[in-house]
Each structure stands twice: as structure tokens, then as C-alpha cells.
Structure 1
Amino acid sequence: MMNSLAKILIVDDNPKYLEDVLPMYGYEVEVATDGIKALQLIQQAKPQYNLVLLDVMMPNLDGWETLKRIRSNQKTENLPVIMLTAVDEEQKQVLGLRTGADDYITKPFVLPNLLARIESLLRRSQWKDAEAKAKAKINIDFEYDESTISPLTAKEKEILSLVAKGATNDDISKKLNLQESTIKTHLNRVFKKLNVKTRTQAVLLALQMNFIDD
């Protein structure tokens, strides 16, 4: 599990399955059975939800309109949203993505597929936040000495850029056609060159030093 503390809002008029199963995978969940209640919870949430699972077909306020209102509010415009629907039509999927959904999955879905999409979106959102902090010159939360930092090779920069986009070692190995063990070796070298211990620190410092693009 990438983030066992992630807080997810389930917006569905029949939420029991997701409400029961997601906590088994380490997620904290809250439930709204219609769009109006969802918008109220989102506005009141402190801290804000990490992700919203938003069903399309609901009473009072459907998923499309709920999503539009989420995206039109400056406070929640970047809140990660996955649309859930029983409608498997290309036009509906395009509508959801154009309205501002980050991802889209049709019912009935296979649980591992949904979990993978949740983790992928949470990961992308995490790195977007990290990049935004670096770009805004917010102080990173660890000490570093520029004089002890060594330059990265082109391959190391390429791999770290993919890490910054939320890619796992497996994702990177497939994309670059390299063994996963080779990716680990490259990342270990990056950690040593940057004098850091984690992927998050490596990405933040590389952005701060302009080793990779935001």
C-alpha cells in the first residue's frame, strides 16, 4: 500500500461494498449517498480528502454536476476524482474526462483494477504536490549541502523524472526496457549522489536543483 493514511470520500447511493472493502486495504473512508451531501463534506473536510470515488447515477445531484461544482471551486479544483458508473459508453467516458475527472471505471469493476487506479492517482497527486512545493520555492523538510551533491547522468535523470510522475520501479523497467534490479541500482546511485534516503527527497531535491523538469 502506497499510503495507508489516505482519506477517501465514497459518493454513491449504494456504498456498502466499497465502504467495507477499502478499509481492509488501509484506507480511511467516509460516505456520502448523494452529490449534495458530498459537496458539504468536501467543504467541511479538514484535512481535505486525498481522493473522491464519485458515482454517476445518484439522487438529488448526479455525479456529472457534482464534479462540475468540485472543479469550479478554487479550494477543491485539484481534488483527485475517479468516476464510477454502470454506463459503458465512450461518449459518457469522454464527458467525464472533459468535465474534469482524473480517471473513470465502469461497474461492475474488478477490485484489483480499482485499487490500482486509486494508488496510481494518489501517487500522481502526491508528486504534483511535491513539484508545486518545489516550484513555489517552499522549503523542503530536510537539510542538504549543495557542495556534496554530484551531477546525475542522463539515464539517472530520466529515471528520476519518471519517479516524479508517480511511476513505480516496475513501471519504469517496462517503459525503459530495463530489468527492475537495474532501476533499483540506478536509484541507489541517485540517492548516494544527492545524499538522500527516500524517493520523495530525491525528487524534491532534483526539482530544487533543476536536475529534472517540473
Structure 2
Amino acid sequence: MIYLLEDDDSIRELVCYTLTQIGWEAKGFSAPSAFFEALKQEIPALILLDIMLPEEDGLSVLKKLRAASKTKHVPVMMLTAKGSEYDKVIGLDAGADDYLAKPFGMMELTARVKALLRRSAAAEEKTQEKKTYQIEGLFVDLARHVVTVDHEEIALTFKEFELLCLLLENRGIVLNRDQILNRVWGYSFDGENRTVDVHIRTLRQKLGTCGALIETVRGVGYKIDGESV
């Protein structure tokens, strides 16, 4: 199930129609109140979220989703008329997993949706391995989707968790931005390497004392060194 929170009737109807024609179930909502009421009944596999909404803006909705235990790991793609780099950074900082500016084509939208769902499914399979990582004060449990720093649990978004796991799986190896985009997002953003930098920055901040484990290799990319216990 895919939920779409979009107050523009024509866009909402077109997106839902397109998604159902491809074979996905989709429900559209014009206001946050109806959207949150639906979440009480069913948690979707993906949420498409506009920023400019009645009642409250999409960033406020996103923060509530990330703060709730049942929805904090649900992938969220922002759909918005705000297309500047600043707006994208704000959305990603707030916990969005992807960002698509209006006007957008249905082919691009469906490609992004497929990529997000594919990455979400792959991450779920990976958690079945019951693998853990521990480097210094950082501990990651894939199966339980738990990250702790000095024994204190840290709340990460879906993409932040995937990014951290990718770096841990490739300890000592420098991954460039294109590699990270393809492995974490499932495709490349043309000229959107800033997305990786934003997620690295917020990930470091959330990891606190262990944020320094993520090293920047100037002109190349990022890596984590150290042996997992």
C-alpha cells in the first residue's frame, strides 16, 4: 500500500491512478487529519508527501512520522513545488528518503517509487541475517533495526540506517557519492550529489561521539575504518 498526502485534487488523482495501473495499491488524502486517521488502520509500505498542505505543512507531518515508532522507518518521498537546493536539504534533513520537485513526469515518479520500494525490501531481507556491528561505542543490530551509541539508542531514518550499514559493510573502503547513491537510493540523481552530503552530515550529528567514525576522503567520498566486534 502507498499513501499519498496531496491537497491538489488533479495531482492526487493522477498519481493514484498511475500507481494502481502499474499494480500497486494507492490511497490519496487531501488533508493531514484524514491521513493520520488512516495510519491508525494500516501502515503503508511508502508515503508520498506534499509540503504545502492545509492544517499543517508536510515537514511537520514528516517530523511526526519520524517520531512515531510505527512509522519512523517507513520510506517517505517528498513531492513539492519547492524545488530549490535549500528546500531539498531541509526536507532531507527532516528525514525524507527522496525528494521530487513539481512538475514531474509519471515515468520519473514510478521509477523513484520502484527504487524506494526495492531498497526497502532489500533492507528488510538484510535484517533477517541477524547481523550486528560494533565499532568503539557504536552498535548496530540489523534484525531489530537498532542503533546505539554508548548504549543509548539513536533514532535514524530509513535512508540514514541504510547508509550507515553500507559504510559498515565496506569498512576501510572509500565509497564515492555515485556508488552510495546507487546502493542506497537505487539510482543516480543527476547533479544531486548534495543528497549524500546532507545524509552524511545528519548521520554524523545523530551518532554524536561516534560521528567521527565516518571519515571524509577529500575529492573521493566517505568510509568507516575499524574492525567490527
TM bucket normalised to smaller: 0.5 to 0.7
Question: Normalising by structure 1, what TM-score?
Answer: 0.59
Call closer, same or farther: CA 1:72–1:44 in 2, change over 3 Å: same
What is the aligned partner in structure 1 of residue 26 from structure 2? 29
Task: For 2:36 and 2:97, locate their aligned partners in 1 and report how far apart those are by CA, in whole Å.
Answer: 18
Task: For 1:119 and 1:21, locate their aligned partners in 2 and report how far apart those are by CA, in whole Å.
Answer: 13
What is the aligned partner in structure 1 of residue 94 from structure 2? 99
What amino acid is aligned across from residue 81 of structure 1 in structure 2?
A: V
Gaps of 5+ in 2: 132-141, 144-179, 188-227
- Map 1:42-57 to 2 at 5 A: 42-45=39-42, 48-57=43-52
CA deviations over 1:126-184 (Å, ceiling 9, x no partner):
0111111222698xxxxxxxxxxxxxxxxxxxxxxx9xx5898xx7xxxxxxxxxxxxx
Task: For 1:167 and 1:81, locate their aligned partners in 2 and report how far apart those are by CA, in whole Å.
Answer: 12
What is the aligned partner in structure 2 of residue 40 from structure 1? 37
1:124 to 99, 119, 124: 119
Call closer, same or farther: CA 1:94–1:74 in 2, change over 3 Å: same
Call closer, same or farther: CA 1:50–1:56 in 2, change over 3 Å: same
- Map 1:153-172 to 2 at 5 A: none
Query: Over alpha carbons, which structure has the higher Rg?
Result: 1
| Alignment check: 8 A CA contact 1:39 1:70 kept | no
What is the aligned partner in structure 1 of residue 73 from structure 2? 78
Task: For 1:91 and 1:39, locate their aligned partners in 2 and report how far apart those are by CA, in whole Å.
Answer: 27
What amino acid is aligned across from residue 13 of structure 2 in structure 1?
A: K
Task: For 1:39 and 1:116, locate their aligned partners in 2 and report how far apart those are by CA, in whole Å.
Answer: 26
Task: For 1:100 and 1:43, locate their aligned partners in 2 and report how far apart those are by CA, in whole Å.
Answer: 21
Structure 1 or 2: larger helix share?
Answer: 1
- Map 1:127-142 to 2 at 5 A: 127-135=122-130
| Alignment check: 8 A CA contact 1:39 1:66 kept | no
Task: For 1:167 and 1:78, locate their aligned partners in 2 and report how far apart those are by CA, in whole Å.
Answer: 15
Gaps of 5+ in 1: 1-6, 139-161, 172-212
| Alignment check: 8 A CA contact 2:76 2:96 kept | yes
What is the aligned partner in structure 2 of residue 209 from structure 1? none
SS in 1 for 2:129: helix
What amino acid is aligned across from residue 65 of structure 1 in structure 2?
A: S
Call closer, same or farther: CA 1:19–1:89 in 2, change over 3 Å: same
Task: For 1:127 and 1:94, locate their aligned partners in 2 and report how far apart those are by CA, in whole Å.
Answer: 25
**Aligned: 1:8 with 2:2:** yes
Call closer, same or farther: CA 1:68–1:166 in 2, change over 3 Å: closer
| Alignment check: 8 A CA contact 1:87 1:106 kept | yes
**Aligned: 1:88 with 2:59:** no
Question: Normalising by structure 2, what TM-score?
Answer: 0.55
| Alignment check: 8 A CA contact 1:10 1:52 kept | yes
Structure 1 or 2: larger strand share?
Answer: 2
| Alignment check: 8 A CA contact 1:51 1:79 kept | yes
CA RMSD, 1 decimal: 2.3
